[in-house]
Chains A and B, each alone.
Chain A
Amino acid sequence: MDRKVGRASLKFERPPVIESSASVVGKKEGEGPLGSSFDKIEEDGMCGKKTWEEAESFMQQQACILALEKGKLKKEEIRYLFAGDLLGQLIATSFGAGNLEIPLFGLYGACSTIGEALCLSAMTVAGGFADRVLAVASSHFATAEKQFRFPLGYGNQRPFSSTWTVTGSGAFVVSDPERAKKGLAKITAITTGKATDIGAKDSMNMGAAMAPAAYSTIARHFMDFETDEKAFDRIITGDLGEVGRTVLLDFMKEDGHDLSQVHMDCGMEIFDKESQDTHAGGSGCGCAASTLSAYVLRKVVTGEWKKILFVPTGALLSTVSFNEGQTIPSIAHGVVIEHME
């Protein structure tokens, strides 16, 4: 029997497996340190489409199709699709993965969306409501800039605390362990995050706004499972960047946990900040999703990392609430992914 643990966690006695995964990224990501690990690199930021939004939709759909192909699966074998992106009304999803004609749950968790999608996927499969589901999230530098900041051609000086939205998408097929043709890794537990608001107001310093959410979810996970950082080979956040990482490590230290050796941030891995001028690191739904598929999951498959806690973070910010003087609430979802013998 699967069971509820603590206040916000679930432990799966028959853990769902990640049967297949794929990543599609843009040119800049392809030139980054993880460049050779991605399944597909789109050299053209427009992907041959007329608008940035169509390009992001295309990439998201490509990631789904690739994940199916790599798992030798047909889309008819997928019962549910859990998908999301950063855009208003989830247009990258509606016109992207939504086109696959798989029953769809559209999700918004800002940059934590892939965590939310994996949590719900694992719950759905473990609960016996589906044999196989697909989780996907995407972001695009140009669509995000357009929606949240300035038109691309507008000159401005980005502060060092700002992050660079990743152009990319990651897709994961989550399956029942007995029905899966193969298994890359298993999802053994999840911890659902709560909206956390520390009063941060600087939209150019999202790391500082999101770190308290990562702290909250990781601390909750430790409490619920009566465990600590020693149980994990890596604790991986999505896009805290350098400032966020400093905050997270400081907060954890207050609680007596030293995360400096086990913590890794996808946003800090995906770009080389010196040569690529990305400041604090990468961000966006596509950052955590594509890095999980291309880099993290491979380490878990080979067994180099036996057990990881994947905690993508999202800043729940809108241009409306921001202009109305509101703070930036944030959220983080924890997914425990383990190596399969």
Chain B
Amino acid sequence: MEVNKRLYENYVKEITPVHSRWKNLLWAFLVGGGICALAQLAVNSFMSMGMEKDAAMAWTQMLLIGSSILLTGFNIYPKLVKAAGAGALVPITGFANSMVAPALEYKVEGQVFGVGCKIFTIAGPVILYGIVSTWVLGILYYILSLWNIGW
């Protein structure tokens, strides 16, 4: 039996079940929104204790990262992402998860070749292309500012 590769691809797409988009969106909204709301609550509480806004935000970031690290260690964060998808991956907690997970996994391969080399396997591309895009935007900003166009 001869099978056309393109037809096969379409056929497989047809018979493969997929996650419900609306359910995913709802979960992402609730969990992602929940994380942000908690962060806002933290900022407000720190400020009500007399902290400057910048300091309160820095402390909040540390709080979020710290919680995500703990939740990853206790195997709770992966379950959160499973339900919420990008809702739990996009906030800074997701970034922390993407660094702690390889660190935990590869520590048996040693501090240098294990943790050292592999801690950025998932976060690395985000950092690299994050820096590249800020660099591109920086140049753009410079050129535009030559004509007195700014934002």
Q: Interface on A for B, CB 8 Å cutoff? A: 50-51, 146, 150-161, 198-200, 202, 205, 208, 212, 215, 219, 242-243, 246-247, 251, 254-255
Contact: A153 with B16, CB < 8 Å? no
B12–A153 CB distance below 8 A? no
Q: Which of B73, B79, B98 has the most CB of A within 10 A?
A: B98
Contact of B101 among A152, A200, A208, A255 (CB under 8 A): A152
Main secondary structure of the interface of A (DSSP, over half): loop
Known A155-B88, A159-B18; contact A50-B108, beta-carbon cutoff 8 A: yes
Q: Which residue of A lies closest to B5 (CB)?
A: A199
Choose among B9, B18, B105 the residue with the greatest number of A CB atoms under 10 Å from its CB: B105
- Chain B's closest residue to A204 (CB) is B16
Interface positions of B from 9 to 30, Cβ below 8 Å from A:
9, 11-12, 15-19, 24
Also in contact, A153 and B122, with CB within 8 A (given A160-B17, A160-B19, A198-B5): no
Interface residues of B (CB under 8 A from A): 1, 3, 5, 8-9, 11-12, 15-19, 24, 72-73, 75, 77-82, 85, 88-89, 94, 97-98, 100-102, 104-106, 108, 121-122
- Report how far A153 CA is from B80 CA in the complex, Å: 11
Query: Whole-angstrom distance from the CB of A16 to the nearest CB of chain B?
Result: 32
6 extra interchain contacts, Cβ-Cβ under 8 A, other than A150-B101, A160-B17, A212-B8?
Answer: A153-B105, A155-B101, A158-B82, A160-B19, A199-B8, A243-B15
Is the Cβ of A155 less than 8 Å from the Cβ of B100?
A: no
- Determine the residue in chain B with the shortest Cβ distance to A277: B82
Instruction: Please measure, in the bound complex, the distance between the C-alpha atom of A198 and the C-alpha atom of B18, giving whole angstroms.
Output: 22
Docked-complex contact A151 and B106, CB < 8 angstroms:
yes
CB distance from A59 to the nearest CB of B (A): 17
| Bound-complex Cα distance A152 to B75 (A) | 9
Q: Residue on A with the closest CB to B118?
A: A151
A160 to B17 CA separation, bound complex (whole angstroms): 6
Q: Which residues of A contact B5 (CB under 8 A)?
A: 198-199
CB pair A161 B17 closer than 8 Å: yes
Question: Which partner residue on chain B sits nearest A252 by CB separation?
Answer: B1
Residues A154 and B78 in contact in the complex (CB < 8 Å), given A50-B108, A198-B5? yes
B81 A157 Cβ-Cβ under 8 A: yes
- When C-beta atoms are compared, the residue in chain A nearest to B100 turns out to be A153
